[in-house]
Amino acid sequence: MRSWAKLVSGFTAIASMGAAGAAVVAGSVLLSACTSCDSIVRQTALPVLATGNFDAVVADQAQHRIYFADQATHGVDVVDISTVSPRFVGIIDVGGATKGLAYAPDRHRLYASIESGAVAVINMDPASARYMHMIDQVAVDQTQADLLDYSPNTHMLYVGTGHTNGVVAMDANTDNVVSRYDAKSAVEQPRYNPADGNLYVTTPGEDSVLQISTDTGKVTRTYTIRHCHPTGLAINPNRQLAMVACRSSTGLINLRTGANEVSRIVAGGDIVSYDAGADRFLVGSSHGATDSSVGVFDGDGQFLAQVKTSDSAHGAVIDDATGRVYALSAVGLLSFSPSACAPPPGWLALVGGILMYTLPLAALGVFLVLYARRRPRAPHGPTWEDLRADDLAAERERIRDLEDAIYGPESG
């Protein structure tokens, strides 16, 4: 019986330590989750994209097309993503090195800024005889046209002019320049916010994002993020949140209160976009050949996923129909689904941390108790009743000896 008890105790101790080990593993998995989606990336070899020199990227959700501004081809590279295997469609020639892109779904127009200071207007109506052809070229600045933003609310195209310190507004109905907004500092990404009717633009040299009234053309508010040097900018109008790409981090700004926070999960970047259909922010973090990536955040600015890319990936797009994110890679094009490897909710990570540290200690305690119980025990000492009985017996023996000494031993 004792052997059987020892066997059970030993088995229980081993099981306890095994449970502790499992808890450590489970806790580690819950804590680490999957902050990288590299293991589920799908690569598509597209030689033209593998050798290009790119800047901006935009998506046509209705036609399931992606457009890349390719300075090497002096045009816009077109990729079809309507099937599982993306297909290179062709190059739209715009006659100059392309920088920024903006797509106007309500007008079936694609706008591409040209480095020399012009904007190419491209017909993207499949029913038109001029489909995928440049139909106009509008001079917006004497020296430079950079990043773009189109607003279906105002039918305006907003053009950042880089080191000429301003943003140009072009009427998409007439293809005429109608306004110029002076930022008094070099600008990067302009974004129109339909929630408040203001224009926002990043100014890296001032560590700030400017709010510009489209009615007066004046700067009405300045949002400063120290040591950020913001470049990319995207706005979620429903939550009044702006995400910016800093030099070595990403920043999130509450446009109502001005409060901001900085995260280094994605190490800076170039172009930031917001997709309302998917409620996702996308950050292109282009650095070197081995440390470039694309980061995905939800509409609240919470980090979801990140994958490694080539240094040509300055931005990314998401296909609303499938939820897959697309970006440039060393072989051409990569895609992944952020939902397949999103981090666990905060409460689950907390549980993982508790399991990782408390269960091993509890298991160790159980093991020590069981180990102590299975050791041979020393006999118990005499109880108080035993000692009292011994004293009485000794007292009787002493009295008997005394009587024998006085009266002599009893006979027979």
Instruction: Return the pLDDT at 289.
Output: 80
Instruction: Return the pLDDT at 25.
Output: 52
Q: What is the mean pLDDT of each run of 10 residues along the chain (412 residues)?
A: 52 54 52 64 96 96 98 96 97 96 98 97 97 98 96 98 96 98 97 98 97 97 96 98 96 97 90 98 90 95 94 95 96 94 60 62 68 60 74 79 72 55
Rounded Cα–Cα distance for residues 110 and 273 (Å): 16
Instruction: Return the pLDDT at 31.
Output: 46
Instruction: Name the token pair of 185.
Output: 């500092």
Q: Where are the domains of the chain?
A: 38-343
Q: How far is CA 130 from CA 100, 134, 162, 175, 320, in A?
A: 22, 8, 31, 17, 27
Rounded Cα–Cα distance for residues 64 and 85 (Å): 12
Question: Options 3.40.50.970, 2.60.40.1260, 2.130.10.10, 1.10.540.10; which CATH number does 38-343 get?
Answer: 2.130.10.10
Structure pTM?
Answer: 0.78
Q: Is 372 exposed, middle or buried (0-12, 13-18, 19+ CB in 10 A)?
A: exposed
Other CB atoms within 10 A of residue 17 CB:
15
